A and B are shown apart, each in its own frame.
Chain A
Amino acid sequence: MANFRRFRPDDLNKLSKCNLDPLTETYELSFYLQYYAKWPSLFQVAEDENGNIIGYIMGKLESSPDVYKFSEHYLPWHAHITAVTVAPEARRLGIGKLLTEQLEAAGDAGNAWFVDLFVRKTNCKAIKFYESMGYSIFRVVKEYYGDHSTDPTQDSEDAYDMRKPLKRDVKKEHIRADGEKHEVDPTDVW
């Protein structure tokens, strides 16, 4: 039912199974293409027999910009999951996990310290998904999202910044047990 391969721009015409799902954000063209241009091997898709995209992950490998070198929030060389999504019909088959593992492997190959990502605090499914793979909350970014996914009366929502240490972090220095207690502002994440 599925093939795994690298993303190619034509896939943008085949996203409906994933992107019509409300929890999957649709971006401007330049956003997708920036990832495809800079980190093509970290942009992977799962397609069905008819060429429809039924899952994808978009990620990058970087550290915080040099200007923040001395900030307490500076992030050393790490992999970041910008988007991961699986079409409703293809969920719970391990596709999300396979895509994420690929990114983790690339992170290890690139000698990154950890993988991180942001997830809406109310997106329980996704949080469970990440936890099942060994991710934990590192910090809470207050009002990171400009809208709320479940409560229309609110105009913002917190994010969890979740992390999983990679091989390089032998001493597990880049994760913490009480991440939920560490709150930061959106201006502290870049």
Chain B
Amino acid sequence: MAYNRYRYGPPALKSSVDVQLQSAFSDGNWSAVIRLAAKRFATLKDPYYEAIRVSTEAQLQGTAEKCAVLVHVDELVRSKKTPDIDTLDLYEWACQDFIGYEIDFAETFGPLRARWVKANASSPMASSCLQGCLEQWDLVSAQQIAATLDKTYANTTDRRYMFWNITLTFLLSISPQCTEASRKVYSLLTVRQLQKAADITENSEKLEKTDRGLLTEEEVCLYYRVLLSHGTKEEFLARLRSPKLGAISQLKQGHKLLFCECLDALETWGEWDTIYELCRDALKLGLDGSTTPFFVCDLRIWKMFVSRALDEVQEVLKQFIELKDKATPMYKKNISLALLETTFKLPSTTINPDHEDTALSPKVVQIGLFLDQYYERFAAFDDVKGYVAELGYEEAKTFLEDVLPKIPGENPTKAQQIIIKALECRLRYTLTTCPQTLSPHPTVVEGTDQGKPFQCRVCSNLAKSPCEGCLRKLIIDAADAHRQITSDKELLAAIPKLDRDPRLDLALVMGNSLLKLSGLRPGLPNFGQSLWQDVQPDILLQAVLLLDTQLKVTPNDNGLRLLLVQLYLLFGCASYAHQLWAPLDVKRTIQDALSPLFFDRISSISPGLFQGTRPLMEPLRAYYTQSLRDPSPVRIWDAFSSGSYTSILDMAEYDKKLRTSCTLVMTLVEERRATRLFGGKLDVDIDDHILASESPADIVEDTTLVHKTDYGSFPSLESANGPPIQEFIRLGPGPSQYLDLLTYTPPKDYKPSKAAEAAARDKAYALETLTRINTSLTDLLHKPSTPKLLTPAETNYYTALSLLSALVLTAISLPKSETSVPKIVSQTTQPLKTTLTTLRTGLLSPKSTVPATTQQAISSLCDMPSFASVRDVAFAVKLSAAFVLSHHEKETARDKSGKSGLHKEVVAEMKALESAAAKTLGEAKGHVGVLKGVMNESGWLDKLLDVVLGEEDREMGELTEKVSEIVEGRGGAEEWAGKVVDGWREGVKGWGMVKFE
């Protein structure tokens, strides 16, 4: 949908128009308007009345009347005369449905408005013409208008005209709206204009508002943005140190933006010397009173500053430490962290020449000193995690054994002790992810590979990474601490007064450790194919049970909740995951970053969710429809009129990214997949609406989709040495695999026309579409990055589609008379048949009889994404074969000569494929039936609990016992088991509604 300036009504008519016509117009009484306007034109000969008539006729339903206005617009454009502004407004209103389709704003109204402004530059209407062009994101016309305005208002106090011109010239210099050559010219022009302005500022004693120099923070920052994009690094660096426009001088004026942006640029260039000097000078401004003392006391600045082991650093830091008492706690903490950072940056010989190898190193001491002040605070663990992970093995040991326990002093309260214990457990977990706790060990012993390439330095056992022995011990210790809390009334009463519930931290340690022990690994090779080949379900489910139990105690912890949402999705319990997801109330703007955490691949996990009363993806769809409705970035005119030039640039960039957001494409794809599963008609509306400005083909072929999933709230116990926990539990790679389906129109969507003469057109259309699908899929599958982006199930599916499109293409273009059938036919049918067979036997056969064990049933329940791909592949084969065969029948019926129709062998192959697909679909349907039957059996709660906690009369292993204690045994876990089983039942019920024929 194109932008509609007149969404809220037509423009006002000229005041010279008589009352009768005015009121007919404002009442929307179009037939009266048309009649009256024609009459006035006849008597007054004023072409404006003709324009009223033509524009009003465009409001009528008939196509001829509706389109007449287009001819008038075209004439105006060609005439090169200055148009009348009120006529333009009327025409633009009349053309609102055509803009972006039949006519291009940038070739019609944009240039007309620019032409008008040129002739009427000092009219107050001129800025509204600029606004009109900006709202249509016609940068070429907008820049022309801005240039005219700049000339007209040069050296007035309204400085915006000058900077509109510059900003728009810059936007053009990076825009696809003009040619490469023009972009070069525009970039030179912007740099030159701004350099001139910068020189004026540097050279004038005091800049007046009417001077064409750089005055405001926004103007100065615009200059640097342009330099960064089109200037040289040398120029940038030189200006950065200049007395008036330099970053330090801007800081003195209270402007921090430039300073922050410069550090970003310098960081990417690796200009560490300059960074160091800038940070030093900026910090000193606070000390000498040129700014408020803590103006730049950000952790980032400190980290950049102390990266130098210089006396100067110590000196500045010392002065700030002296000021510390006056600082707000936040800055105090930043300064403490800066001190810690310095200790880690200095070579150990400098700070402690005698004790180089001792365990109680200055690093350990500093962490201790930091924690002395902060161990009870919420963020203590996150603050020190990275530093502890950097300690050598001996240091870490000393820290955990000798330093940490003493932190709460001589007579700690019970609560303080338990806080320390929780901190210790978390840090021990972090250390299991650090290489210094393991030493390499020959893995082949007496000719057999032990699969344990390390010796753990903590427990001395042979180990993999992470050390399973340590994880087990950690679970037992954390469980004991957890137990201690829950059995102590005094401790329980103290918890609400603490910054953070230590039970939560202990549960996270146990949960994460169990997840690792279960065998989960990031991007398991057979991920999605069968999770359970590599993962022990009992341990995985124990982790989930334990974490779920904790969520009941701390329901407001969003990190824990998100972790659980993903875990439930991982084992196919989508409706319960949805129940946990809903209270997070992810809505409006934050959906783009957070929705993939729940919705990614959801249709293949649980299509039943799409059958609820409210369409599942509606809020997402509404968000994009609203935010991307107009061709211009949302609120862009506000930024122009307020003179916020850096905002303009950032908003334009943000808009571009949002239009190519992975989450947007995910929204479309998941809905379409679900629709297809239920055999519904595909609604192409959304791509028409949102992606209209960029043709979908652009998105498919060249666009890199922007992936912005926000994992910021996930609990993070891991060190930087390994992947974060979300990589272990994610259902397949991140969402970026959605490229193809946008253009993939399944053959059944073609509407074969009955008319004989349309047959050729239909065929041509089919060939064209198929070629496009084939090319884009082949490209996709051959990209080196693709395998990393797809689950095996998805790879199967896309490979099948690519083969199918090639096959159908050959099938319908191969002349019947051809004697030799091209190889491509067997080259495609054979692998397709094999794929179908593999999928059938691989996934279905072992489980399509009544599952022998509960675990087997559970495996199937968790494997629905693979199952979905079986169904999709078979369905695509079936539809394609049906399409080819019906084409054949139609052709034979149409042309009785017997020359048309398809090659006999092709027909035979297609029939074979069709029946293979039907067989697979039949079995798939049967599979759902079996699952349904299994789920309806009684005793599921017990069966599940047997898997998780072991059978009732059997002895439990130590870990299971600990978990069982925390969840209060089978009785305590029953409610949870009920929810999981219900979740699975719901899921299977949803699959029962899916179409298989």
Residues of A with Cβ closer than 8 Å to B?
A: 1-6, 8-10, 12-17, 19-22, 26-30, 32-34, 36-41, 46, 48-52, 88-95, 97-98, 109
14 A-B contacts (beta carbon < 8 Å): A2-B334, A3-B299, A5-B257, A16-B558, A16-B593, A27-B589, A28-B588, A28-B589, A33-B635, A36-B651, A38-B638, A40-B646, A93-B333, A109-B254
Q: Of residues B254, B593, B647, B648, which shows the largest number of chain A Cβ atoms within 10 Å of its Cβ?
A: B647
* B639 surroundings in chain A (CB, below 8 A): 36-38
* B585 surroundings in chain A (CB, below 8 A): 20, 22, 26
**Residue of B260, B331, B635, B712 touching A17 (CB-CB under 8 A):** B712
Known: A5-B257, A91-B378. 4 other contacts (CB 8 A): A1-B382, A3-B300, A34-B635, A40-B218
With A15-B593, A33-B651, A34-B635 already in contact, the answer to whether A1 and B334 are too (CB < 8 A) is: yes
- Alpha-carbon separation in the docked complex, A40 to B639 (Å): 9
**Is B383's beta carbon under 8 Å from chain A?**
yes
- Alpha-carbon separation in the docked complex, A98 to B644 (Å): 24
- Alpha-carbon separation in the docked complex, A92 to B651 (Å): 33
Interface readout for B604-639 with A: 1 if CB under 8 Å, 0 if not?
A: 000000000000000000010011000001111011
**Nearest Cβ on chain A to B645's Cβ, whole angstroms:** 10
Contact B558 A20 (CB under 8 A): yes
For A30, give the chain B residue with the smallest CB separation: B634
- Alpha-carbon separation in the docked complex, A5 to B257 (Å): 7
Contact A6 B256 (CB under 8 A): yes
Contact A89 B378 (CB under 8 A): yes
**Is B893's beta carbon under 8 Å from chain A?**
no
- Alpha-carbon separation in the docked complex, A32 to B658 (Å): 15
Contact A12 B589 (CB under 8 A): yes
Contact B298 A16 (CB under 8 A): no
Contact A94 B256 (CB under 8 A): no
With A9-B654, A37-B636, A38-B639 already in contact, the answer to whether A29 and B588 are too (CB < 8 A) is: yes
Contact A6 B627 (CB under 8 A): no
* A41 surroundings in chain B (CB, below 8 A): 217, 257
Interface readout for B180-221 with A: 1 if CB under 8 Å, 0 if not?
A: 000000000000000000000000000000000000011000
- Alpha-carbon separation in the docked complex, A52 to B587 (Å): 18
For B298, give the chain A residue with the smallest CB separation: A3
- Alpha-carbon separation in the docked complex, A9 to B646 (Å): 11
**Nearest Cβ on chain A to B148's Cβ, whole angstroms:** 24
* B382 surroundings in chain A (CB, below 8 A): 1, 48, 89
Contact A1 B647 (CB under 8 A): no
**Residue of A1, A32, A52, A91 touching B333 (CB-CB under 8 A):** A1
* B710 surroundings in chain A (CB, below 8 A): 13-16
**Residue of A1, A12, A88 touching B590 (CB-CB under 8 A):** A12
**Nearest Cβ on chain B to A54's Cβ, whole angstroms:** 9
For A6, give the chain B residue with the smallest CB separation: B257
With A13-B592, A15-B710 already in contact, the answer to whether A1 and B379 are too (CB < 8 A) is: yes
For A53, give the chain B residue with the smallest CB separation: B712
Contact B299 A1 (CB under 8 A): yes
- Alpha-carbon separation in the docked complex, A8 to B708 (Å): 15
Residues of B with Cβ closer than 8 Å to A?
A: 217-218, 254, 256-257, 260, 298-301, 328-331, 333-334, 337, 378-379, 382-383, 556, 558, 584-590, 592-594, 623, 626-627, 633-636, 638-639, 642, 644, 646-648, 650-651, 653-654, 658, 708, 710, 712-713
* A2 surroundings in chain B (CB, below 8 A): 298-299, 330, 334
* B590 surroundings in chain A (CB, below 8 A): 12, 15-16, 19, 26
* A88 surroundings in chain B (CB, below 8 A): 378
Total of A-B residue pairs, C-beta within 8 Å? 152
**Nearest Cβ on chain A to B560's Cβ, whole angstroms:** 12
* B636 surroundings in chain A (CB, below 8 A): 37
**Nearest Cβ on chain B to A14's Cβ, whole angstroms:** 6
**Nearest Cβ on chain B to A38's Cβ, whole angstroms:** 5
* A38 surroundings in chain B (CB, below 8 A): 638-639, 642, 644
* A32 surroundings in chain B (CB, below 8 A): 589
**Nearest Cβ on chain B to A49's Cβ, whole angstroms:** 6
List the 6 shortest-distance A-B pairs measured between CB atoms, nearest first: A94-B328, A37-B639, A37-B638, A9-B654, A3-B298, A52-B712
- Alpha-carbon separation in the docked complex, A4 to B330 (Å): 11
- Alpha-carbon separation in the docked complex, A112 to B496 (Å): 41
For A52, give the chain B residue with the smallest CB separation: B712
**Nearest Cβ on chain A to B641's Cβ, whole angstroms:** 8
Contact B634 A29 (CB under 8 A): yes
* B627 surroundings in chain A (CB, below 8 A): 28-30
Contact B593 A8 (CB under 8 A): no
* A8 surroundings in chain B (CB, below 8 A): 650
With A6-B257, A13-B593, A26-B587 already in contact, the answer to whether A40 and B644 are too (CB < 8 A) is: yes
* B331 surroundings in chain A (CB, below 8 A): 94
**Nearest Cβ on chain A to B959's Cβ, whole angstroms:** 30
* B254 surroundings in chain A (CB, below 8 A): 109
Q: Of residues A5, A39, A50, A93, which shows the largest number of chain B Cβ atoms within 10 Å of its Cβ?
A: A93
Contact B712 A14 (CB under 8 A): yes
- Alpha-carbon separation in the docked complex, A33 to B639 (Å): 9
**Nearest Cβ on chain A to B931's Cβ, whole angstroms:** 35
**Residue of A6, A12, A49, A94 touching B330 (CB-CB under 8 A):** A94
- Alpha-carbon separation in the docked complex, A14 to B592 (Å): 10
With A33-B634, A37-B635 already in contact, the answer to whether A13 and B708 are too (CB < 8 A) is: yes
For B383, give the chain A residue with the smallest CB separation: A1
Contact A26 B589 (CB under 8 A): yes
* B593 surroundings in chain A (CB, below 8 A): 12-16
* B558 surroundings in chain A (CB, below 8 A): 16, 20-21
**Nearest Cβ on chain A to B371's Cβ, whole angstroms:** 14
With A37-B638, A93-B328 already in contact, the answer to whether A10 and B654 are too (CB < 8 A) is: yes
Contact A5 B584 (CB under 8 A): no
Contact B260 A5 (CB under 8 A): yes
- Alpha-carbon separation in the docked complex, A14 to B651 (Å): 16
* B379 surroundings in chain A (CB, below 8 A): 1, 89-90
With A37-B635, A37-B644, A37-B651 already in contact, the answer to whether A98 and B330 are too (CB < 8 A) is: yes
- Alpha-carbon separation in the docked complex, A86 to B594 (Å): 19
- Alpha-carbon separation in the docked complex, A36 to B586 (Å): 22
* A98 surroundings in chain B (CB, below 8 A): 328, 330
* A49 surroundings in chain B (CB, below 8 A): 299-300
**Residue of B218, B256, B586, B589 touching A5 (CB-CB under 8 A):** B256
Q: Of residues A27, A34, A36, A90, which shows the largest number of chain B Cβ atoms within 10 Å of its Cβ?
A: A36
With A3-B300, A5-B256 already in contact, the answer to whether A29 and B589 are too (CB < 8 A) is: yes
Contact A9 B650 (CB under 8 A): yes
Contact A40 B588 (CB under 8 A): no
Contact A37 B587 (CB under 8 A): no
**Residue of B329, B589, B594 touching A92 (CB-CB under 8 A):** B329
**Nearest Cβ on chain A to B252's Cβ, whole angstroms:** 15
* A40 surroundings in chain B (CB, below 8 A): 218, 644, 646-647
With A12-B590, A97-B328 already in contact, the answer to whether A17 and B713 are too (CB < 8 A) is: yes
For B654, give the chain A residue with the smallest CB separation: A9
**Nearest Cβ on chain B to A147's Cβ, whole angstroms:** 12
Contact B589 A37 (CB under 8 A): no
* B713 surroundings in chain A (CB, below 8 A): 16-17, 20, 52
- Alpha-carbon separation in the docked complex, A6 to B712 (Å): 20
**Nearest Cβ on chain A to B191's Cβ, whole angstroms:** 23
* A91 surroundings in chain B (CB, below 8 A): 378
- Alpha-carbon separation in the docked complex, A27 to B337 (Å): 34
- Alpha-carbon separation in the docked complex, A14 to B328 (Å): 25
For B300, give the chain A residue with the smallest CB separation: A3
**Nearest Cβ on chain A to B561's Cβ, whole angstroms:** 9
- Alpha-carbon separation in the docked complex, A10 to B650 (Å): 9
Contact A16 B635 (CB under 8 A): no
* A26 surroundings in chain B (CB, below 8 A): 585, 587-590
**Nearest Cβ on chain A to B905's Cβ, whole angstroms:** 54
* B658 surroundings in chain A (CB, below 8 A): 29
Contact A9 B651 (CB under 8 A): yes
**Nearest Cβ on chain B to A180's Cβ, whole angstroms:** 29
* B646 surroundings in chain A (CB, below 8 A): 40
* B378 surroundings in chain A (CB, below 8 A): 88-91
